[in-house]
Structure formats: structure tokens, C-alpha cells
Amino acid sequence: MTALEPRDAEVAPEADEIPGEPAERSGVLGRTHRALSVGIIAVILLIAFEATAVGTAMPVAARELNGVSLYAFAFSSYFTTSLFAMVLSGQWADRRGPLAPLATGISAFGAGLLLSGTADAMWLFILGRAVQGLGGGLVIVALYVVVSRAYPSRLQPAILAAFSASWVVPSVVGPLVSGTVTEQLGWRWVFVGIPVLVVFPLAIALPAIRRKAAGPADAGAPVPAFDRRRIRLALGISLGAGLLQYAGQDLRWLSLLPAAVGGALLVPAVRGLLPRGTYVAARGLPSVVLLRGIAAGAFIAAESFVPLMLVTQRGLSPTMAGLSLAVGGATWAFGSWVQSRPRMEPYRDWMVSGSMVLVAAAIATTPSVLIAAVPVWVVAVAWGVGCFGMGTVIASTSVLLLQLSAPDEAGANSAALQISDGLSNVMLLAIGGAVFAALGGGAVGHTVAASGASGSHPAAFAAVFLPMAGVALVGAWVATRLRTQQS
């Protein structure tokens, strides 16, 4: 068996299959898995709707709270706290099953939204995003453990593709609803309204997970204690990333001190939590983890500034700025569906590498709308292409990770994948936010007229997008190293 062949013999949920069951009944929406699939897809729908809706309302919230200079913090605080939660969730799920971390995570996710929605200062808004990040980190790793335990390896690409497909409706409806609510009722209602949606995923997902994936992977084995060293490293990686983000936003000589402390905390934590060889792109699992960070970090860092750029530089309303990215939900799902086809498995390497080139091209094209003669619809087209590439890459790295993980390692390895994802988001957002602030980007919120664009500091936006395109190109090379030499 090669390193990337399905590990059917090691996946306990295969036993859940009904002998002789027709294929349509044993698929992800067949009788065997229907309730579980509907439940966890509902959780993804909640996360997707939050991401698209909150992103649309964020520019207005930042301006009203006089916090445009801290705009990147509103995104990176989520990822910073989620880093700690990912490690905690991985250990929790491996030892006790994914049910408890998932329920706790969804509850924290909703509480963070309420805190941000009622904030009267930017620091409270950022704190709410941090609480939300704790919940998101618990949820995402727990869901990967659910997939690893409850679905046979032949169905894992399909359920992960369904995760991506779950972004389609929120990507179209989310910006429209969020923009309309922001303009008619105020941005706060976008945040305080979403927690109502928590009830449905809890009611559907948790009972199904209790039946299919509760408890440790090996019920007969003694449950080991939490690895306190990994928990300390997780705390170090979260604090270190936060200090580096703070130093990047406060560009003074005194900022060198928190930057140095942050680096001292971050380096050993990263080395201890990610697979050996990750940052030299060693073949196999290390390159899978590294590619996930490169792809997600470059894309999210760029995407976070798209609505702000369209609102402040081209005068779009929050609704129209959000809708410019809506097509990306459909193309992301399509890219994920393409990679899930069995016939594509032999070509996964070059498919992922080519997709990273598409991501780089999309990010590089987007700031062209800073030129007044370039129509705004160019952003929608470019982002649609980039999201197709991301759908292929994100789903492929998830599939490869599960193929390379034994059942009792799924939580820890999934945590490593998500740490790479979240840490890269924090670091690249910190770098992008620092450059944006240094070039005067923080002033755009104070110069936007009520009816149009300010035209100020376009270089601040370009300085965010173009380096991220270069990072994505590095990912195209890393994608050539996903298989071991023996594969």
C-alpha cells in the first residue's frame, strides 16, 4: 500500500456499512449516513453564513467604532484564539470523542457573535471575535474527527466536497442579507441575529454524532491524559501570534519588544505542534500541512481587504461589495466537487499545483480595480477563478490528511492542519495589516464621503494583494511535494 492509498482496513466506521446495501443508500445521504451528514452540513452552513455576512458588515462596523486602523485585528483575533482551541479540540476529540468539543465550540461561537454585536468600542468588538475564534477552533477540528470516524475512506472526499458545497447559498444570500440589514437596521443586527441559527445545528448534529462518533477511537483502551506540553505549546503559539500582530499594528521602536517576545513564544511552539519537516516542505504529510497554510493564509489575507477596498475606493455599498464575492461560493464548491471525482485521484498533484496558480492570478488581478477605468465586475470574475482553485486545494489537503492519518491520530493531525491554516492567516494578516497601516490605509475610514469613494491611499491596498499573490505561487511549488518518493 502506498502512502496515499485509502486506509480502509484502519477506518473503523467501515463496519457501519450495511452488507449488500445499494450504493445510493450507503452514500453520504444514504440511509446509513443521512442524519449525520445533514447535521454536520448544517454546522458548516452556520459557519459559512457567519463568514460571508460578517465580512460584508465589517467595514461599516470598523468605521462606526473608529477602528479602521485596527481592521486587520478584527479578522486575526479570530484566528489567533482559534490556534489554541484547535490543539485543545484535537486532544479532546481523540481522547473523549468529538461530541463535547463540538457542542462547546458552537456555544462559544454564538457567544462571541453576541459580544461583538453589542460592543461600543473596537477593543470589545475584537474581544468578541476572539471568543468566536475559540468556538470556531473547537468546531472545525471536531468535525474532521467526525468525518474520520463516521465515514469510510471512499466517502470522505464526497462529504468534504459537501462541506464546500454548503458555502454556495450563504455566499450568495449572506452578502445580500448582511448588506441590506447593515444599511436598513445597522451592522449590529448582523452579529446578534446569527446566533439564532445555532439552535438548528445543535438539534440535528449532536444526536447523530452521539450515535456514530462518540467516545474514544478505541473504546477498550485506557484513555490517556491530556498532553500538557502540547497545551502549553498551543498557548504559546496563540500568545506569540497575538503579540506579533500587535507589534505589526503599532509601528514604533517600542513595538520591537512585543515582537521579540512573540517570536520567542511562537518558534518553539510551531516546531512542537506541526509535523517535522513542515517548513522545509518535506514530502508527504509535512507538505500537505504547509500547503494548507500557504493557500489559506494568502487567500484570506487578500479577501479580508476586498470589501474595504470596494467600499472606500470605488464607492460601492456594503451590499454590492459583498455580492462582488458571491460567485466565489459556487466556484469554490465546483472546485471541491471536481477533486472528489475518483478519476481525478491520479492527477491530484498537478491539479492542486495548477489551482494554486489560479489563486495567485486571482489575487494579483483584484487590485486592478484601483484604476478607475477598470470595471468593478473584474473583482467578481477574478475571485470566482480564485475560489475554484481554493475549493480544489482545501478539499484535497483535507482528503490527503485523512488518508495519511490512522484513526487515533486524526484529531492531532487535523489540529496540525488547522493550526497551519490559522497561523498563516494570523501572520499574513499581521504583515498585510502592518503594511496597510504604514502606507496610510487606516485613514481611509475617515475620508470616505457618504456617497462615494475617497480615492485615498490606493497603494496601501496594492501592497496587501501583490505580495499575497507571490505567496500563492510558492504554494504551487509545494503542491509538487504532496506525495512521497515511493508513491
Give the model confidence (pLDDT) of 386-422 as tens digits. 999 998 999 899 888 877 777 667 677 877 887 888 7
CB neighbours of residue 462 within 10 Å: 17
Q: Rounded distance, CA 182 to CA 63, Å?
A: 13
pLDDT on residue 442: 57
- Give me the average pLDDT of each 10-residue run along the chain (487 residues): 33 41 59 78 79 76 80 76 86 82 88 90 90 89 84 80 73 72 82 75 74 62 69 84 72 75 84 86 90 92 86 78 73 85 82 94 93 90 93 89 74 81 80 79 51 60 92 94 66
Quote the pTM value.
0.67
pLDDT on residue 251: 62
Q: 276 in helix, strand or coil?
A: coil
Type of residue found at 162: A
pLDDT on residue 452: 44
Q: Please check whether residue 472 is in contact with residue 360, taking contact to mean a CB–CB distance below 8 angstroms.
A: yes
pLDDT on residue 363: 95
* Chain mean position to CA 151: 22
pLDDT on residue 18: 43
Alpha helices (runs of H) in 219-367, residue ranges in sequence order: 228-249, 256-273, 285-303, 306-313, 318-323, 327-340, 348-365
Q: What letters, b where the CB count within 10 A reaches 16 and e where it falls short, cover 318-347? A: bbbbbbbbbbbbbbbbbbbbbbbeeeebee
Q: Which of 472, 477, 474 is nearest to 363 (CA)?
A: 472
pLDDT on residue 333: 79
